[in-house]
Amino acid sequence: MGASACASFPLEGTRIAIDITDDGAGVDLPAVRAAALRAGFITTEQARQLSDTAVLELIYRSGLSTSPIITNISGRGLGLAIVREQVERLGGHMRLDTQAGTGTTIHVNLPASITTMTGLLVRAGDGQFLLPLDAVERTIRVDRSSLRSVQGREVVTSDGQPWTLAPLAGLLGMPGGPEPASGVTNLSCVLLREDSARLALAVDEIAGIHDVVVKQFERPLVRIRCVASAGLLGSGQLALILRPADLVRSAEQGLVATGETDETRRPPFILVVDDSITTRTMEKNLLESAGYQVRVAADGVEGWTILQTEEIDLVVSDVDMPRMDGFELTSRIRTDQKLAELPVVLVTALESRADKERGIAVGANAYVVKSSFEQSNLLEIIHRLV
């Protein structure tokens, strides 16, 4: 697979555009749809109804991966999520175009200067906020009687196009959300466009266009949902600069909520299979401290017996064990109709390439070598798989 990158700058005098193109197989959209369903990001009904554009947006979700195996450097579903987060942190945005059998192009658009910006100042709740002007389509006043409902959400129509309505205060979790005050007849709305997504933000007041000095956050305020940085107004006041992409995603997540809460979701059951009592105990304590329920087995035969009689959500298994090793246990799981989709993580001292390839061949979802074992890595892998 070849790849090329090209940049044109400046774009419209203030932006830099970077395109990265490959000539590979393109993004496998059915595989992305299936991975999102397994990870619980969408429901079965949503998997059937989502458009290809909406499915492609899912690849930016942290923890979503179509890779059949997790290693120390790949398969965790974090790469594109981190890239887009960093691009948006700089005030830019990215978009991905793909075609099966032809390749993929990633478009990155960044500001040429991040020290100053021009934004639309709005007020919502008790705060004042700046929206990057290049994301603002227009501002409008909307009569509440003209609103219509689509899939349970209110929609504004402008120039014949539907815009999902969401109150800014509600998206930011502020008093005054999640719905505009029922006594208000006319709504002040800012129409935001982020790639193909359209969002009508209901605000209390639109206070005009301002040039501001950007004040970047420092640790620990590095990544705040919906907030990119702060802007210093000419009056000396500060206003939070909002990240349009996060606002759009927050509104979209409200549309695809599954309704499952922490109160109704039972902790996942994990089966730990290892012939070393020391390793079994260590892994059991680690997983229980992380909130999981744990069953243990001393070898593959005992583990297989438990799988036939109990409901297990994930298996963590050693490879080198008496009676039945981890490879055979994984193979049996994959050929069993009831257990075929059960996630399996192999944690083993066997680190040769041949052993790793055999782990992949028998159907393991992750292969963790004990010599480079880190508790946080194992927990991260398990969290993604369950």
CATH number of the domain residue 79 falls in: 3.30.565.10
> Could you tell me if 122 and 105 lie in one domain?
no
pLDDT digits (tens, 9 = 90+) for 323-359: 899 999 999 999 888 888 888 998 888 877 788 788 8
The answer to whether position 37 is within a domain reads yes
Number of structural domains found in the chain: 3
Whole-number average pLDDT of the chain: 79
Q: C-alpha distances in angstroms, 347 versus 71, 250, 326? A: 11, 37, 9
> Could you tell me if 277 and 364 lie in one domain?
yes
Closest CA to 60 of 22, 27, 91: 27
DSSP conformation letters of 178-232 = SS--TT-SEEEEEEEEETTEEEEEEESEEEEEEEEEEE---TT-S-BTTEEEEEE
Sign of CA dihedral 77, 21, 134, 187: negative
pLDDT digits (tens, 9 = 90+) for 26-56: 888 888 888 888 777 778 888 788 888 888 8
> Could you tell me if 295 and 339 lie in one domain?
yes
Q: What's the pLDDT at 191?
A: 92
Cα–Cα distance, 305 to 58 (Å, whole number)? 37
CATH number of the domain residue 213 falls in: 2.40.50.180
> Could you tell me if 211 and 123 lie in one domain?
yes
pLDDT above 50 for 13 = no
Domain containing 126: what range?
Answer: 116-255
Residue 332 · residue 326 · CB < 8 Å: no
> Could you tell me if 275 and 249 lie in one domain?
no
Closest CA to 148 of 134, 132, 161: 161
- Higher pLDDT: 36 or 1? It is 36
The answer to whether position 233 is within a domain reads yes
Q: Which alpha helices (DSSP H) does 196-321 contain, by range? A: 244-255, 277-289, 300-309
Q: What's the pLDDT at 96?
A: 84
Q: What's the pLDDT at 303?
A: 93
Weakest mean pLDDT among 52-56, 246-250, 261-265 = 261-265
Q: What's the pLDDT at 12?
A: 43
Query: How sure is the predictor about 65, in pLDDT bands with cuts at 50, 70 and 90?
Result: confident
- 251's tokens: 């509104």
Cα–Cα distance, 369 to 352 (Å, whole number)? 10
Cα–Cα distance, 325 to 319 (Å, whole number)? 5
CB-neighbour burial class of residue 11 (10 A; exposed 0-12, middle 13-18, buried 19+): middle
Most confident residue range from 177-186, 302-311, 375-384: 302-311
> Could you tell me if 58 and 172 lie in one domain?
no
> Could you tell me if 348 and 275 lie in one domain?
yes
The answer to whether position 344 is within a domain reads yes
The answer to whether position 359 is within a domain reads yes
Closest CA to 57 of 19, 97, 20, 91: 97
CATH number of the domain residue 379 falls in: 3.40.50.2300
DSSP state of 125: T
DSSP state of 375: H
Mean pLDDT of the 200-210 span: 92
Weakest mean pLDDT among 72-86, 181-195, 269-283 = 72-86
pLDDT above 90 for 248 = no
> Could you tell me if 136 and 238 lie in one domain?
yes
> Could you tell me if 148 and 107 lie in one domain?
no
Weakest mean pLDDT among 25-29, 92-96, 121-125, 175-179 = 175-179
pLDDT digits (tens, 9 = 90+) for 145-198: 787 776 667 888 888 888 888 899 888 877 654 444 445 578 899 999 877 788
> Could you tell me if 121 and 250 lie in one domain?
yes
Q: What's the pLDDT at 78?
A: 67
Q: What's the pLDDT at 208?
A: 92
Query: How sure is the predictor about 312, in pLDDT bands with cuts at 50, 70 and 90?
Result: very high
Q: What's the pLDDT at 333?
A: 93
Cα–Cα distance, 347 to 266 (Å, whole number)? 25
Q: To the nearest whole percent, how much of the chain has pLDDT over 90?
A: 18
Whole-angstrom Cα Rg for the chain: 25
Query: How sure is the predictor about 8, in pLDDT bands with cuts at 50, 70 and 90?
Result: very low
Q: To the nearest whole percent, how much of the chain has pLDDT over 70?
A: 81
According to DSSP, the β-strands at 136-143 and 148-150 are unpaired
The answer to whether position 27 is within a domain reads yes
pLDDT above 60 for 264 = no
pLDDT above 90 for 270 = yes
> Could you tell me if 39 and 128 lie in one domain?
no
The answer to whether position 379 is within a domain reads yes
Q: What's the pLDDT at 260?
A: 43
> Could you tell me if 120 and 251 lie in one domain?
yes
Weakest mean pLDDT among 30-34, 172-176, 199-203, 226-230 = 172-176
Mean pLDDT of the 356-381 span: 79
User: In the listed set 59, 79, 111, which residue is the last one of a domain according to the structure?
Assistant: 111
Residues sharing a CB contact under 8 Å with residue 348, sequence separation 6 or more, in sequence order: 318, 319, 320, 326, 355, 367, 368, 369, 370
The answer to whether position 263 is within a domain reads no
The answer to whether position 348 is within a domain reads yes
pLDDT above 70 for 2 = no
DSSP state of 175: B
Q: C-alpha distances in angstroms, 180 versus 144, 155, 167, 225, 378? A: 10, 13, 6, 21, 44
User: In the listed set 225, 255, 285, which residue is the last one of a domain according to the structure?
Assistant: 255
Between CA 237 and CA 245, with CA 243 as vertex, the angle to 5 degrees is: 165
Stated pTM of the model? 0.43
DSSP state of 371: G
User: In the listed set 78, 111, 144, which residue is the last one of a domain according to the structure?
Assistant: 111
- On the question of a cis peptide bond just before residue 180, with omega within 30 degrees of 0, the verdict is no
